[in-house]
Amino acid sequence: MAYCRLVLLGLFSMFWATCPCFEHFSFAPKGENLGSFTHWTLTEDAILKVVARFFESDPNVPDGELQNLQPLSAELLFHEYYVKYLNDTQVKPDKFREAMKQIVQVNALQDISYPEDAAIHMRNERIKEGHKWIVKLRKRLLETLAEDKPNYDAARDWLGEIFHTLQDFYSNTNWIELNSEEEFYSNLGKQNSGTIVMIMLC
């Protein structure tokens, strides 16, 4: 259970932790065309990368050894870490793969479940409302993970919803065009973060 808590917190915090993490994991890999990627593929890549980084916190694993696996998949990631470094052949990626699938599906379903909700999709100048939506979900998720018996199922759903709105901020606004020197907007989704920047929508 502690593992589940750490991984979910890691996935959640990665979007606010460091610029390189956000740049590399949240959107298209460097040199790739963003148009060929979906919420599904972006989120799956992000989850695999942050879990690889979590495994690399083991002092026996060199930095970048797991994050740079090609192709990066749940099966290869678990094999390389548990078999190669821990000599443990009993741990399988099945539960992790199901958890990842849940987060990714909830993310992708936002377009079907709430197609007209401008705040969730950061459209029609509803950036402030979208920011408040992320703040609300973020608070709920962190409170849940702090409980003695966290509801991991609900936490994964909220994480998927958060990822969707965060990703839509960058795809449905012209933040990137107007702020080419900044890799991500650090105040987005943070409570009491001050005024949300005024951005013209694409």
| SS3 assignment for 142-197 | HHHHCCCCCCHHHHHHHHHHHHHHHHHHHHHECHHHHCCCCCCCCCCCCCCCCCCC
pTM value is: 0.76
pLDDT value of residue 11: 55
Count the Cβ atoms, other than its own, within 10 Å of residue 143.
11
Per domain, the residue ranges of the chain are 2-178
pLDDT value of residue 196: 42
pLDDT tens-place string over residues 173-196? 877 677 666 666 777 777 765 444
Token output for 5: 């808590």
Instruction: Return the residue matching tokens 């479940």.
Output: 113
Ranges of residues in the chain whose predicted pLDDT is under 50: 2, 6, 14-36, 194-202
pLDDT value of residue 173: 81
| b/e code 97-136 from CB counts within 10 Å (16+ = b) | eebbebbbebbbebeeeeeeebbbbbbeebbeebbebbbe
